[in-house]
Structure 1
Amino acid sequence: MPRPHHRFWPKRLPHALTLPKTSLWDNLATSARRFPDKAALVFFGRVLSYAQLQEQAERLAARLHALGVRKGDRVLLDMQNCPQLVIAHFAILRANAVVVPVNPMNRAEELKHYITDPDARVAIVTGDVAEDLAKADAALPAAYQLAHLIVTQYTDAFDPASDEGTPPAAWRDWLLARHPLPALEQGQVLAWTEALANYLPLPELAVGPDDLAVLPYTSGTTGLPKGCMHPHRSLMHNAMASAAWGNGTADNVALLVVPMFHITGMVSVLHTAIWLAGTLVVMPRWDRDLAGRLISRWKVTTWTNIPTMVIDLLGSPHFDQYDLSSLVHIGGGGAAMPQAVAQRLLEQFGLRYVEGYGLTETAAPSHSNPHEAPKQQCLGVPFMSCDARVVDPETLQEMPPGEQGEIVIHGPMVFDGYWKRPEATAAAFIEFEGKRFFRSGDLGRMDEDGYFFLTDRLKRMINASGFKVWPAEVEALMFRHPAIQEACVIAARDAYRGETVKAVVVLRAAHKGQVSEQDIVDWCRENMAVYKVPRIVQFVDALPKSGSGKVMWRSLQEAEARQ
């Protein structure tokens, strides 16, 4: 089938890339050798050079090796964006091990799975989440418990007393606190500074393109989150491709505010910048006025985000005080950019918002809009080295332009499969024209120009401000509440988040009148990541069910849509 999008392909770029036979660690080592004194990371005014980043990552790698971490071992990494996350990420790779990125919004009940499923024995965390991780660890059988925990405080990376070291007032209790180290039931706990204070020998670098590098977890329509097996080569491809697609150079200054525990922040921002030897201006969380100040102060040139961030920044009462003239690239995904906002960016700043599309399974982008010819509210065209099609989900026949079907993806960015889930892996792939294609679970169409558009989902999922919430996972957690007999989680419209989480709940007879909707919300806040928490709880006497007894969630979703 012809590929009409090649007519719009940037003439400066090849359609596919040749990958180096090296590991992701080599990208940092090369950038540090070429640009030792260049700023790698900026965090509340403190600058860490490439040479310093490499040195600290090597010291932590030596410590991990001394603690028994060996090739292929999985190491948990649980923290918000900060320099320590970058140091630890590359230290794990340098120790020939595998990064298991964990969302720091997860609570103890959720964290158990991230210890047991990857068979992790070592974790690196910030003080604000260390207690929850220790609590999760204590609830596990001895055979699954952690052997080592390394804990850093955010102030290990910046000086709160400096002129630029002052975080937003709402963050001070969180960022400036120095949390006491928790105890592990049968393991050792090390402070970050103690872990790095060593002259231990480094192991030989023994990993290459085909070795497992990262094991990010993604949820789905059933059960607990699954680990996506990404070797060095899949992340390498998308880091290199993102750099080329965005005209990147070593003089890139990127605002890093999308979370690095998520595949987009990890690949499209972190690894892309390290490949280029660019500078990362790191934000631990989103704050519109801090973002405005940082873009102005550090002359940020590129900003990958989710559209709600842009909307929020443009709505700041202090917006006229910020200088965005240094920005030459702005884009992102996770949710559609409203056309009016994209138009304002174009008219006021000359910036075309470049939307893209990807999944945890595709190491972030599988599609992106060409900078030279973007379309609004569009996924873009198949990315470099990527072959994407739209097929009938039942017959798997390719659909003609304009017709809806499932988006399937083939290319070097596609993961190897789900960790310890051979059946799920087999179900996620199809053979098509002699190639292995990943089934995205998203419904879309391709226009006459070869651009892809999202139309619906095959998978049951809620998109709240770019965070993917999987109803089956939320329901499984809610069933642990003693008052809940049944729960069905659906999407509700939300003016700011796009969608938000609603739970339709049947209470056990003994608890009716004893438990309120707010009680359920409060319990959920204590037991799951805040973005998964139902904002709306509705009590009903019964859930609609099919003849086979399955909850008919779609009828509840349709009723919600009609309201």
Structure 2
Amino acid sequence: MELPDYIKNRSWKDYLADGITTELDVPENMSLIDVYKYNDENFPDHVMLDFFGKEFTTKELDVLTRRFAAALKDLGLKKGEILALWLPNCPQFSITYFAAVYLGATLTAISPLFTGRELAYQINDSGAKYLIMIDRFVREYEKVADKVSLSKIIILNVMDEEIVVPETDKIIHYDKLLDRYQEPLEFNAEIDSKKDIAIIQYTGGTTGLPKGALLSHYNIVSMLWAIKQGSDYMIENYLKENIIALSVLPWYHIYGQACELLAGCLFGSKAYVLPTFDLQRIAEVIREGRPNMILGVPTMFVNILNSPHMKDVDMSCLKFANCGAGALPDELALEWERRTGFRMAEGYGLSETSTGAITATVWSKLKRGSVGHPFPNTLVGIVNENLEFLPLGEEGEVVISGPQVMVGYHNRPEENKLVFFEVGGYKWLRTGDYGRLDNEYYLFLLDRIKDLIKYKGHSVYPREIEELLYEHPAIQECAVIGVPDPMKGEDIKAFIILKKESKGKVTEQDIIDFAKENLAAYKYPREVQFVRSLPKSGVGKILRRTLREKEKKKRTKK
């Protein structure tokens, strides 16, 4: 099978925004160590992070990072070993992250919203032997301490306050550890950029529990170089000043990690770092710091626009905003433009593509509903169920090829067979998303093929919730779906068949409370409906699709 001419000829090149090309030279031997050193060599005295008014220059962060790298080295962390970060956005996230990078370790970042149960799953699935977390999470960790096998645990307080958790042979205090290592490490690991894994980024698939996407140094550097091309153009021709970012995206997620933490090393930019999505603090930073850039997801922007804290705040400093991790509603885009005076950019990507694949820049031709054109070195096509490429205008599954596409899923050989295929000498990734390309090669996303639920920009996996619900003694059968919600993108609803002996004794709220206790705040069902039966296929498979269609019709009538 051959590729269509529009892919062979990169036909979208004639429609690309200024400053974006189809091809881009990426240094093949460059690693994240080099990305970090680029920052130190080019912007040593620049203020990189502002955390509640405390400023950190690049040089200060570099010294702290290499001191902590010396400590990790003496603790036994070696190249290729896996270190887990369970932290909110804070300077210590940057310090510990890049210290591990210096040693050639592989990182896996864990959501600060996770419960102990979810923490244990990611640690065990990734094979992490080292964990760095904040003191506030110790109680959750203790619930599953006997279910994980960790060599060392390092505990910190983001405000550098005293840690009350006692040290043991396994548990070490970050501040005391750093005090013992005053000399910055002058060593860095030798990295094979295309083979060595930098990050195991947990994501979801069409089935099953979250999976770890293996992202090599080359995957991520390729993505960063593409981001840099567009950002260099933006700084010179659009912002006409350097980037001052309001950093609200969580860094545990690849969107925030790549576009804020890592990309920030390439521009000498400044970031106001927030550990949580605090609307009062966001208003203060916009009012006093006058940032010119913010990256987020639809729900974040909706909440910023509707917050009483923002009522009298002049938002005209926010010249650049990018929306990702969920469809950008037209009304949200228009309201943002009314409040700031500037268009909102949109992008599309996955954890499996090191965050990005498609971009609709603010200086390109506006097509509402489109996520734009491919990044440099990236190919995008539409295929049918037989993986045959379709002509422009036809609807099918979106597939992506490029140097930023993951190596594969961690310890999931069968999943890798399903998600990858080769055509025309290229390795293609099946996204599970349904879309079409118009006659100017703009990509329009139509729907998700996956059952993935998008709640406030978070990816939520129905089966993970269902597996927990099946642990409840009153539940006989269940199905979880996403239902449309104008504020959240989708809300989470569970349909449940109770066991006969539990009917009339267990309430919907009992089920919600059970899930809430065992799942992160963005995962538990907000709605529960008891039903007598669930729609099923001929072989007995529960049909979530049928439930979604019924719910959509019911809500449309309202």
User: Which residue does 1:125 correspond to in 2?
Assistant: 133
Contact conserved, 2:298 with 2:324, CA < 8 A, in 1?
A: yes
- Give how far 1:379 is off: 1.4
- Give how far 1:11 is off: 3.6
In the TM superposition, 1:24-39 aligns within 5 A as 24-39=32-47
In the TM superposition, 1:278-293 aligns within 5 A as 278-293=269-284
Name the SS for the 2:331 alignment partner: helix
Name the SS for the 1:155 alignment partner: coil
**Letter of the 2:197 counterpart:** L
Q: Do structure 1's residue 79 and structure 2's residue 87 form an aligned pair?
A: yes
Pick from 427, 431, 452: which aligns with 1:440?
A: 431
User: Which residue does 1:333 correspond to in 2?
Assistant: 324
CA gap 1:318/1:119 in 2 versus in 1, 3 angstroms: closer
User: Which residue does 2:174 correspond to in 1?
Assistant: 192
Name the SS for the 1:474 alignment partner: helix
Between the two proteins, what is the percent identity of the paired residues? 34
User: Which residue does 2:238 correspond to in 1?
Assistant: none
Name the SS for the 1:407 alignment partner: strand
User: Which residue does 1:9 correspond to in 2?
Assistant: 16
- Give how far 1:294 is off: 0.9
C-alpha RMSD of the superposition = 2.0
Contact conserved, 1:304 with 1:332, CA < 8 A, in 2?
A: yes
- In the aligned structure 1, how far is the partner of 2:296 from the partner of 2:422? 34
- Between 1:444-453 and 1:325-334, the stretch displaced more is 325-334
In the TM superposition, 1:368-383 aligns within 5 A as 368-373=359-364, 374-383=366-375
- In the aligned structure 1, how far is the partner of 2:188 from the partner of 2:347? 38
Name the SS for the 1:296 alignment partner: helix
- Give how far 1:325 is off: 3.0
- In the aligned structure 1, how far is the partner of 2:110 from the partner of 2:465? 17
The 4+ residue runs of structure 1 with deviation greater than 6 A are none
Contact conserved, 2:18 with 2:363, CA < 8 A, in 1?
A: no
Pick from 215, 223, 229: which aligns with 2:200?
A: 215
- Between 1:489-498 and 1:353-362, the stretch displaced more is 489-498
In the TM superposition, 1:399-478 aligns within 5 A as 399-478=390-469
Contact conserved, 1:72 with 1:97, CA < 8 A, in 2?
A: yes
**Letter of the 1:131 counterpart:** R
Pick from 373, 387, 392: which aligns with 1:396?
A: 387
Pick from 147, 150, 170: which aligns with 2:151?
A: 147
CA gap 1:450/1:535 in 2 versus in 1, 3 angstroms: same
CA gap 1:547/1:337 in 2 versus in 1, 3 angstroms: closer
Contact conserved, 2:104 with 2:191, CA < 8 A, in 1?
A: yes
- In the aligned structure 2, how far is the partner of 1:408 from the partner of 1:183? 49
CA gap 1:348/1:534 in 2 versus in 1, 3 angstroms: closer
Q: When the two structures are aligned, how many residues end up with a matched partner?
A: 536
- In the aligned structure 1, how far is the partner of 2:84 from the partner of 2:234? 31
- Between 1:57-66 and 1:437-446, the stretch displaced more is 57-66
- Give how far 1:112 is off: 1.6
Contact conserved, 1:60 with 1:196, CA < 8 A, in 2?
A: yes
**Letter of the 1:207 counterpart:** I
- In the aligned structure 2, how far is the partner of 1:427 from the partner of 1:543? 28
Pick from 472, 480, 493: which aligns with 1:489?
A: 480
- Give how far 1:512 is off: 2.3
Name the SS for the 1:280 alignment partner: strand
- In the aligned structure 1, how far is the partner of 2:182 from the partner of 2:437? 56
Q: Do structure 1's residue 110 and structure 2's residue 102 form an aligned pair?
A: no
Pick from 55, 63, 72: which aligns with 2:71?
A: 63
- In the aligned structure 1, how far is the partner of 2:79 from the partner of 2:396? 41
- In the aligned structure 2, how far is the partner of 1:376 from the partner of 1:222? 31
User: Which residue does 2:104 correspond to in 1?
Assistant: 96
- In the aligned structure 2, how far is the partner of 1:347 from the partner of 1:119? 48
- Give how far 1:288 is off: 2.7
**Letter of the 2:178 counterpart:** L
So what's the TM-score if we normalise by structure 1?
0.91
- Give how far 1:359 is off: 0.4
Pick from 6, 10, 19: which aligns with 2:26?
A: 19
Q: For residues 333-365 of structure 1, what are the alpha-carbon distances to aligned partners after superposition, in whole Å with 9 as ceiling and x for unaligned? A: 122222233223334533111110000000111
- In the aligned structure 2, how far is the partner of 1:133 from the partner of 1:75? 16
- Give how far 1:271 is off: 1.0
- Give how far 1:326 is off: 2.7
- Give how far 1:562 is off: 1.6
- In the aligned structure 1, how far is the partner of 2:204 from the partner of 2:501? 33
User: Which residue does 1:535 correspond to in 2?
Assistant: 526
Q: For residues 358-407 of structure 1, what are the alpha-carbon distances to aligned partners after superposition, in whole Å with 9 as ceiling and x for unaligned? A: 00000111000133224222211111110010111x22121222211100
Name the SS for the 2:356 alignment partner: strand
- Give how far 1:208 is off: 4.0
**Letter of the 1:12 counterpart:** G
- In the aligned structure 1, how far is the partner of 2:357 from the partner of 2:324? 12
Name the SS for the 1:254 alignment partner: strand
**Letter of the 1:192 counterpart:** Y
